[in-house]
Amino acid sequence: MNVDRILIVGHRGAEALAPENTWAAFRAGYEAGADLLELDVQLSRDGEAVVYHDFTLFRLGDPRWVRDLTWEELSRLDVGRRFGPHFAGERIPRLAEVLRWARGRVALWVDLKHGFQDPDDDRLEMTALDLIAKADMAEQVIISSWDQVALARIHARRPDIPLAVNLRQRVADPVGAVRHTNARWIVVYWPHVDRPTVARLQGAGFATCLVNLFTGDYREARRLGVDAVSASDPGAARTTLYG
């Protein structure tokens, strides 16, 4: 599945421009011209789908786990001040709110943060699917996860929603490693990927998204021939790729 040009995915919105996974980051990524905005989703203690990457609040100086806090508790946290004083007061969004904002505006890459729950626990993916349906956003999302069992459950319920799975390391048979995932997109990691691997995946019908380019060397995406690049600064990626 090839695209006409390299798509630009705003990583956690636009994490180089604003605090990751916040409204400021999503607005910055959208205004910078990202084709999709990537965001991380997990559940609060009371079952709210919240947009936050880490399983703990350690980066905020708080040792607690996200899953142990209610939405009310999480909603009071300031997740912007550590990025810069002018971002003080930025809060953790809920997936439902971001979906409503994005509808008709920009596509979303929803990365489900499956952690240490029971393998049979499907609450995270089912909650996300319900919210996507309520927001009428099925045609504007890609859902990703490292958990292939969870991806199979999503595909069984909504085979129309494109899925993405991670391929973190070099493997002898990259197509075999992802053949049974039901994924359309494969996330490949720089520098653990080469042009032959990308070509084999594309030849088998998969699209590839390159991540881990935190140096901003987006030209590497063109050399590898990937279909999309995850960019911490979507504007810089666009300038580098297209002038």
Active-site residue set: 11, 53
Closest CA to 83 of 27, 9, 14, 11: 14
Q: Where are the alpha helices (DSSP H) in 47-147?
A: 71-75, 95-102, 123-134
CA–CA separation, 19 vs 82, rounded Å? 8
Closest CA to 121 of 42, 39, 40, 38: 42
C-alpha distances in Å from residue 136, one per residue of 100, 110, 140, 225: 9, 15, 9, 32
CA–CA separation, 17 vs 25, rounded Å? 7
C-alpha distances in Å from residue 123, one per residue of 99, 120, 151, 237: 18, 9, 13, 35
CA–CA separation, 212 vs 53, rounded Å? 15
Closest CA to 144 of 94, 188, 183: 183
- Phi first, then psi: what are they for 26, rounded to 5°? -70, -40
C-alpha distances in Å from residue 19, one per residue of 16, 139, 198: 8, 27, 31
Which secondary-structure segment (H or E) carries 36?
Answer: strand 36-43
